[in-house]
Amino acid sequence: MSGWQALPDELPSEVRHFVEQLRQLKDRTGLSLVALGARTAYSKSSWHRYLNATQPPPRQAVAALCRIAGLDTTDAERFGVRWELAVEAWPRSAAEPARAAGGEKGAKGERGYEDDPTLPWWDEPPKERASGMNRLLLAAALLLVLVLLLGLAGAVASG
C-alpha cells in the first residue's frame, strides 16, 4: 500500500484484513488525515491510530469513512461486519482491565472499548434515535386516543 507503515506481524488476520481495507477506503477518498479529521468527528491523530492498528476505531468512525467514500448501504454493512470481527480479535493491552476483555458493558462500549466522546449528535447510534422516536410515537398515539375520547364524550353530552 502506498506510503503506509507496515502493520505489526503479530496482528490477528481479522485485524490486519480490516485495517488494510480501511486504508484502501481512506485512500479512495483522496483525503489527507487532516482533511479526513475535518470531515468527521475524529481527529488526525485518532485516524492515524486507527489506520496503523494501534487502536480500534469506533463503529461510528468507520461509518463516517464509508459515507465519505460513497459506499452504498450493502458495502457499508459489510464494513460493519469486518469491524465487528476485527474488534473481537483486536489485541488487548496488558494495562486494560480484565473485565474489558470479557466484553462486559459498563462505562465502556459492548466490546470493552470506550465510545468516542467526540461523536456529533447527527452520528448518534440508530438504536438511541429509534428509542426517542418510539417515545414520540407513543405520546402521539396517547394524545390521539385522548382527543377521540373527548370527542366521543362531547357527542354523548350533546345528545
Q: For residue range 53-108, what is the model confidence (pLDDT) as tens digits?
A: 999 999 999 999 999 999 999 999 999 999 999 999 998 763 354 434 444 444 44
Instruction: Give 97's DSSP letter.
Output: -
Residue 117: other Cβ atoms inside 10 A? 7
Report pLDDT for 118.
47
Do residues 11 and 53 lie in contact, with contact meaning Cβ atoms separated by under 8 Å? yes
Q: For residue range 16-40, what is the model confidence (pLDDT) as tens digits?
A: 999 999 999 999 999 999 999 999 9
pTM: 0.59
Calculate the alpha carbon distances from 129 to 63, 98, 123, 132 in Å: 16, 31, 10, 5
Q: What span, in angstroms and rounded, lies between the C-alpha atoms of 121 and 127?
A: 13
